[in-house]
Amino acid sequence: MMEWNFISNHGLVFVYIAKHARSTAREIASAVNVTEWTVHKIISELETDGFVNRKREGRCRKGTTMLLCFTLGT
């Protein structure tokens, strides 16, 4: 049987960010069970629509993993 949710991936990512503001895209992807690329796309869309603000914190030397700081928009 196919697994389904009431909450979209956008909603899952948004809620995760609200609870864990200082997370990497890789951490978010693992928690909500989507690819890291999907998380980057969703974060960009949430930022464009004003739901989150993205701030890079320092430099991470782990390939595509960046430490990002997310805050809820006003």
CATH number at residue 59: 1.10.10.10
User: What pLDDT digit, counting tens, does each position of 39-73 carry?
Assistant: 999 999 988 888 888 776 666 544 333 345 555 55
In a domain, 1, yes or no: no
Instruction: Tokens for 46, please give them.
Output: 């949430």
**Which DSSP letter does residue 60 get?**
-
Instruction: Tokens for 5, please give them.
Output: 């949710």
In a domain, 19, yes or no: yes
Name the domain count of the chain. 1
- Domain of residue 32, residue span: 9-72
In a domain, 60, yes or no: yes
In a domain, 42, yes or no: yes
In a domain, 2, yes or no: no
Phi and psi at residue 56, to the nearest 5°: -75, 135
The answer to pTM > 0.85 is no
